[in-house]
Amino acid sequence: MALLEVKDLQVYYGMIQALKGISFEVGQGEVIALIGANGAGKTTTLHAVTGLLPKKAGTVTLGGRDITKIPPHKIVEMGMAHVPEGRRVFAHLSVYQNLKMGAYIRREKEEFSRNLEMVYQKFPRLKERRNQPAGTLSGGEQQMLAMGRALMSQPKILLMDEPSMGLSPIFVNEIFKIIEEVSAAGTTVLLVEQNAKKALSIADRAYVLETGNIVLSGNARELLNDESIKKAYLGE
């Protein structure tokens, strides 16, 4: 059974239809990439799935439960975490305080300590800078913090929006390596990413969005070698 199932999702911004009835699913343990040009509807899809945007029609199911009309904070409690585009860390709070914010649904002290240790192991830089204000971190470190904060809630599925945006190639490689590690440790990942080549290289399957429609889907490796995809998204 799919962990996340989206059926006939329609979203409007005023009179403009941003998503035109898209359907896709994410299986337990998969890394799924959503690729497409700017304005294709990728971020809108994530916002609709996580409850941040109202849906005109369609359903979203998580682990067999209909979450279409459930508010975002309740969806987090049900096991979904969202790493937003642009990182959105709390700049004036310390690294540690940001991570603590991510764990607000984890009440037990032991569980919090365990999760914090796990995040510090994955991101040693965050441990070194734990008392620094998050706003003083580099872009790559802020991206790590945004990921670490999301992982503090022990999500079943992690939704990531443009994790490589604005990062140097070294940080991009590091972030993608961590996404693979997170997946290997059992967390399902839905990844929205401009860097289609990078996304397809670590994903199991992918969906291609064009102006609010899914126009193509399939095995990520096959799409990576597809001539039309190479031309449109891989700059080849």
Query: What tens digit of pLDDT does each residue of 124-153 get?
Result: 999 999 999 999 998 889 999 999 999 998
d(CA 158, CA 188): 6
Distances (CA, A) of 8 to 19, 127, 169, 204: 9, 43, 36, 23
For residue range 164-219, what is the model confidence (pLDDT) as tens digits? 988 888 888 988 999 999 999 999 999 999 889 999 999 999 999 999 999 999 99
Cβ contacts of 86-91, under 8 Å, gap ≥ 24:
86/162, 86/165, 87/139, 87/142, 87/143, 87/145, 87/146, 88/146, 89/134, 89/135, 89/137, 89/142, 89/145, 89/146, 89/149, 90/134, 91/133, 91/134, 91/135
* Domain annotation for the chain: domains and CATH numbers: 2-233 (3.40.50.300)
Residue 129 DSSP label? T
The structure's pTM equals 0.91
Tokens of 42: 């990728």
Task: Using the predicted structure, report yes or no on whether residue 85 has a pLDDT greater than 80.
Answer: yes
Rounded (5°) CA angle 12-15-18 = 35
